[in-house]
């Protein structure tokens, strides 16, 4: 699988990802970006099968390294509306197909919409479609989304976070690095080639 973790607070949104891409042939690519900054207000994280992701992300990306023209100027809500519509269309096609192929994808976006932190996640795996939506309601509230098929990654991340003296961006980055280093001992589908993207609330330095 892969490992991407999104952290949302009232002051910032941080996406952390590793970069190993695994092919059915057994070959790997070690620099595949799974965390992409779409605009000044929105970051996207992706995991799963590339061919399954593409029908949903192709209106946002040319490839994993290039955002389509015009996306950078869209608001968070506009980006989420497009993503939500594409997700609804592809999941309806899957549900209407009497013999559908096995789809496996997980897409999460996070950022700020009118000054409020949001995280929105869309996934299809194991024959089920799932959506999760978080909006910051309290100043000290934290939200996490872990994009991985192995629950041990999330357990290791939360354990590190709970031991942190301060909930800072640097400490969350270190929590992710520690999670990957531990995870590589039992999960051969990830690497320690890290990607981090962060968006701070405009009134926060």
pLDDT of residue 63: 81
Tell me the C-alpha to C-alpha distance, in Å, between residue 11 and each of 5, 50, 103, 115, 143: 17, 32, 35, 9, 12
Is pLDDT above 90 for 44? yes
3-state SS, residue 169: helix
Is pLDDT above 60 for 42? yes
Sign of CA dihedral 148, 154, 160, 165: positive
Q: Are 44 and 108 in contact (CB under 8 A)?
A: yes
Q: How far apart are alpha carbons 13 and 119 in whole angstroms?
A: 9
pLDDT of residue 205: 56
Range from 24-33, 94-103, 120-129, 184-193 carrying the lowest mean pLDDT: 94-103
pLDDT of residue 98: 66
CA 143 to chain centroid: 13
Mean pLDDT of the chain, nearest integer: 91
Give this prediction's pTM.
0.93
pLDDT of residue 188: 92
Q: Residue 140's pLDDT band (boundaries 50, 70, 90)?
A: confident
Q: Which residue has the tokens 């089920």?
A: 128
Query: How confident is the model over 145-158, as pLDDT tens digits?
Result: 999 989 999 999 99
Is pLDDT above 90 for 24? no
pLDDT of residue 139: 76
pLDDT of residue 100: 65
Q: How far apart are alpha carbons 31 and 11 in whole angstroms?
A: 29
How big, in percent rounded to 5, are the helix, strand and coil portions of the chain? 30, 35, 35
Query: How confident is the model over 54-99, as pLDDT tens digits?
Result: 889 998 998 877 899 999 999 999 999 999 999 999 888 888 876 7
Range from 12-16, 146-150, 197-201 carrying the lowest mean pLDDT: 146-150
Q: Which residue has the tokens 């309601």?
A: 137
């Amino acid at each position: 699988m892969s490992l991407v973790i999104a952290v949302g607070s009232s002051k910032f949104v941080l996406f952390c990802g590793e970069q190993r891409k695994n092919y059915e042939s057994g070959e790997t690519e070690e620099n595949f970006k799974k965390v992409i900054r779409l605009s000044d207000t929105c970051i996207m994280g992706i995991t799963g099968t590339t061919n399954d992701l593409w029908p949903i992300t192709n209106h946002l990306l040319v490839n994993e390294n290039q955002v389509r023209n015009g996306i950078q100027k869209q608001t968070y809500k506009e980006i989420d509306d497009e993503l939500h519509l594409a997700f609804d269309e592809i999941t309806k096609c899957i549900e209407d197909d009497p013999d559908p192929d096995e789809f496996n994808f997980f897409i999460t976006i996070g950022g700020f919409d009118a000054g409020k932190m949001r995280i929105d996640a869309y996934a299809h795996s194991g024959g089920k479609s799932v959506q999760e939506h978080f909006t910051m309601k309290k100043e000290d509230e934290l939200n996490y989304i872990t994009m991985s098929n192995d629950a041990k990654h999330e357990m290791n991340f939360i354990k590190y976070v709970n031991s942190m003296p301060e909930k800072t961006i640097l400490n969350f980055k270190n929590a992710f690095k520690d999670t990957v280093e531990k995870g590589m001992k039992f999960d051969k589908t990830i690497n320690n080639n890290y990607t981090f993207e962060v968006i701070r609330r405009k009134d926060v330095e």
